[in-house]
Structure 1
């Protein structure tokens, strides 16, 4: 993978993104992002999670679209396939997931504005770097032959495997709360599919998906988002595992936190 594309603006944004990834990796050692079960009122305003998640993910759709549509190769086959993979991911992450969150009525908001700010920075960088790369092909890589390249094919298999695990795990958690009676119980132990092995299969799916994305694009923006995701989700998965074990005496002892049979 080449570091510099030769485009000064693009390379500057890529450098900023790597610097932020380093910040997230170090910051993850000292605490969890304040949303969900780890929300706090100490950092100021909290938002409704539906609104917070949706706002945070908007740049991944809007910035990507603007960057992509300005590129001269935006209608070429490989660019369109890469854009379709992006739309698949952020159609789920940016629209379906937040709009289908089942929140306990009257519950105090649990999505801190600090998470919104950091998240919008990430999705802005992420959207620009990939949208511009796919449609400008700064690396001269995304000709029609890329769609049969072993790196693309293997990466696509890895990505889709992770995406399937992510979506199925989110569905299980979402359906723990009755759609017609969301206030019946706030937290339950999830079972089935990835939950047979780990506490946070959705986090594992997200990591696997972005590893596959980095491979199928064979470009550094994919590495950046994998590192940011790793720095955020690995410590969070470990903390979530401890939280469940403390909250539920009957929590399955054989489950690991994130990687089956390992950790």
Structure 2
């Protein structure tokens, strides 16, 4: 199988992917509210995602950081009260923040965002369904990834 690309497409890809940035282009006066909100969303979502992953790993650990057993436990607290996979929601928000900082105009970032949303919603749904099937006491009102919706 051979893939051929025309020279114009290759030039476009090269100009986007390998463009040298100068300090003039990175001047602080070019920052806008959407950049700042996107950056703030990125920082908070990344921190919360790490927090939720630590909460999940601590369900199986003793105080000395050793795994106490391989049983499954129901996480509780914070967003775990409302959804099964808050770490998946945070992953989606991290990618939303990237698109925000590009004014939702960067096609590759929007494509990545669409993929991440699809992937995380499907994975969250499958995790949620597994929990409901395997753990009889699992809270029935809890949603998969998006509080009160999905």
- Give TM-score scaled by structure 2 length: 0.77
Q: Distance in 2 between matches of 1:192 and 1:249?
A: 19
Over residues 143-171 of structure 1, what are the superposed CA-to-partner deviations in whole Å (9 max), with x where a residue is unaligned?
Answer: 43233x01201212222232232111111
Flag as ranges the 4+ runs of structure 1 deviating above 4 A: none
Q: Quick one: distance in 1 between partners of 2:111 and 2:13? A: 13
The residue that corresponds to 2:99 in the other structure is: 214
Partner of 2:90: 205
* Per-residue deviation, 1:217: 2.8
1:8 to 3, 10, 14: 10
Q: CA deviation at 1:261?
A: 0.9
When residues 173 and 160 of structure 1 are mapped into structure 2, their CA distance, relative to the original with a 3 A threshold, is same
Q: CA offset at residue 9 of structure 1? A: 5.0
Pairwise CA distance, 1:199: 0.3
Q: What are the residue-to-residue correspondences of 1:43-192 with 2, within 5 Å?
A: 72-73=20-21, 76=23, 142-147=26-31, 149-178=32-61, 179-180=65-66, 182=67, 184-192=69-77
- Greater radius of gyration (CA): 2
Q: Give 1 or 2: higher helix fraction.
A: 1
1:257 aligned partner? 144
Matched residue of 1:173: which SS?
helix
Report the secondary structure of 1:256's partner residue: coil
* Unmatched tracts of structure 2, length 5 or more: 1-7
CA contact (8 A) 1:214 1:221 kept: no
Residues 168 and 204 of structure 1: is their aligned pair in 2 closer, same or farther, counting only changes over 3 Å?
same
Root-mean-square deviation (Å): 2.7
Distance (whole Å) between structure 1 residues aligned to residue 132 and residue 123 of structure 2: 14
Deviation at 1:7, TM superposition (A): 7.3
Distance (whole Å) between structure 1 residues aligned to residue 149 and residue 117 of structure 2: 16
Q: Does 1:194 align with 2:142?
A: no
Whether the 8 Å contact between 1:214 and 1:220 is mirrored in structure 2 is no
Q: Would you say the 8 A contact 1:161–1:208 is kept in 2?
A: no
| Counterpart contact for 1:197–1:255, Cα < 8 Å | yes
Contact 1:204 1:259 in 2 (8 A): yes
